[in-house]
Structure 1
């Protein structure tokens, strides 16, 4: 296997070739948002090496420093650690090496295809901002999601994108996993807290099992806070892929019951599309919209406040007028 260095206008790679395949070891870029190509010098990118995007360089590659001219001149930065914010990986990637994203504390979004088969240990360690994962596939085909979410216990939003639109969204809440010593036998018992763990088990042959996923919501809605799980309900309703009527009714009832809290949190996150969805489907009441308008105004979000006032007039006040229209 040979170490290689390849440079383009906006990217540079240290990589290793094996036959017709390539393993990316280090990446250099001129922006914190990177899209890795499917091929480097005709070799298909099938693997991301251990510590690839970490500040810790463990490539073991011997590259002549004179070859790294774009890096030496400052035109490209090492894409790692706190510099990395968003990464798009090609469909050809089948493996993510151990600690691939270690200490990428500003990394928020990863996009990947459906071919992933192996996710190494601790790949998301200290990725405190990582919150969104996009999968370029339908939600009913085998993919690498199960491997990925087993490597992260913080909250994660997963979007399935089929090339045209988002066809499904699943939210995996945070959970904690610890071991307690049982004295005096010095036996350690595993202690798991949070429904996020059970949600991560809802798979069948590497495909999300939506029926199982929807069934855990009853218990989750009792044991978890609104801020923790409201996105589970909202995501399933907004993108109702394989959603049974009974599950839909549970989600809708939850959104209506907690509409004021949910509207305020959507304003905090400036989720205009979700706010419109809540209003247009009558899940939000006038009281919830008024509270959200006040929150948007106080935070200086004029677009949100204006939209909410418009939707209140369009979807709520019109209902009241029609209710008493005897003409």
Structure 2
């Protein structure tokens, strides 16, 4: 993929200032000129003018995959153009307002060496809804640091260095400042369960037990769709999941069986039905509802799964004969 990069050399590696190309997906290279990319400069992917923040850099430029250059004028890979970004493997720091006003950014891919995120780095990235973290150790702060930058609901996929994989839902939240006139102070009130879920990283290590204990709080504060996704992810990736915690998730899903079936049909997702079957949640009553619903919405793969399910389970019914 063609990419033109403005950069500066630092003591520890390369600092990327701006990238140019033709795609809405930006893959920032792991290395430039044989040195690791360790920093993103302030405003590196923002459409805003960095002002004098780049004056300290000796700006250089290089082109990657020039043979793949397309006809037409290249664009700044910044601001509202970007929908997906892959951060480099050795990145240590993201500068202030690096992704400011990237309102169309949906997916951010992070790796395990990120240590410092400066103020406003992801301000107004309200469209982002998915994070992936790769090659991360169990004891790390990168997941917490990145999650803390966002208040919206997020789906986070974690790929640990030891090969363990996990996907978790983090609900949204917002804060409200309320004046306490008699005490002459401003109180901060947190609304939504998302803030509590983002605190499940004591001593930099993900606490899945603490995460699971928050589910009743999520049920009380979030919309059913959010809780459904949260429960499905924990049952699909049951790392450190106790039977007690699994039971609370199964009960919630069982109480919303028709919503799950509708979701499977609307998203053409037979794997969701397979998970329901695995967890003992796919009843005869639900399949009777799901079969015409899938046919009505043209969900062929879901319909095929349901036919196979009914075939596999039909032999389990007791047969009676009358003479």
TM-score range (shorter-chain normalised) is 0.7 to 0.9
Deviations 1:284-304 (A, max 9, x none): 3455456556666666xx4xx
In structure 2, the partner of 1:311 is 305
1:1-327 equivalence runs, <5 A = 10-58=2-50, 60=54, 74-137=72-135, 140-162=138-160, 167-183=165-181, 185-289=183-287, 302=298, 305-316=299-310, 318-325=312-319
Structure 2 spans left out of the alignment, 5+ residues: none
Please tell me whether the aligned partners of residues 166 and 239 of structure 1 are also in contact (alpha carbons under 8 angstroms). no
- Structure 1 window deviating more from structure 2 (129-138 vs 56-65): it is 56-65
Give the Cα–Cα distance (whole angstroms) in 2 for the partners of residues 282 and 306 of structure 1: 23
Report the equivalent of 1:6. none
Q: Which runs of 4+ in 1 moved over 4 A?
A: 61-68, 162-166, 266-272, 286-299
Q: CA deviation at 1:155?
A: 0.3
Task: Quote how far apart the aligned CAs of 1:247 are.
Answer: 1.2
Residues of 2 paired with 1:318 and 1:203: CA distance? 43
TM-score, normalising length: structure 2? 0.85
Residue 265 of structure 1 deviates from its aligned partner by 3.5
3-state DSSP of counterpart to 2:152: coil
Does the aligned pair in 2 maintain the 1:289–1:308 contact within 8 Å? Answer: no
How far the C-alpha of 1:90 sits from its partner, in A, is 1.7
CA distance in structure 2 between the aligned counterparts of 1:147 and 1:182, rounded to whole angstroms: 30
Equivalent-residue separation in structure 1 for 2:43 and 2:92 (angstroms): 16
- 1:38-96 CA-to-partner distances (Å, cap 9, x unmatched) read 1111221111122211111315359999999x99x844211011210111112201111
> How much has 1:209 moved relative to structure 2?
0.8
Q: Is the 8 A contact 1:35 1:89 kept in 2?
A: yes
CA offset at residue 313 of structure 1?
A: 2.6
| Structure 1 counterpart SS, 2:259 | helix
Deviations 1:123-143 (A, max 9, x none): 222222211111113573424
For residues 215 and 170 of structure 1, the distance between their equivalents in structure 2, rounded to whole angstroms, comes to 14
- The alpha-carbon distance between structure 1 residues 263 and 96, as it changes in their structure 2 partners (threshold 3 A), is farther
The CA deviation at 1:107 is 0.8
Q: In the comparison of the two structures, how many residue pairs are matched?
A: 314
Change (3 A) 1:285 1:235: same
C-alpha separation between the residues in 2 aligned to 1:15 and 1:66? 6
SS in structure 1 at match of 2:135: coil
Whether the 8 Å CA contact 1:264–1:291 is kept in 2: the answer is no
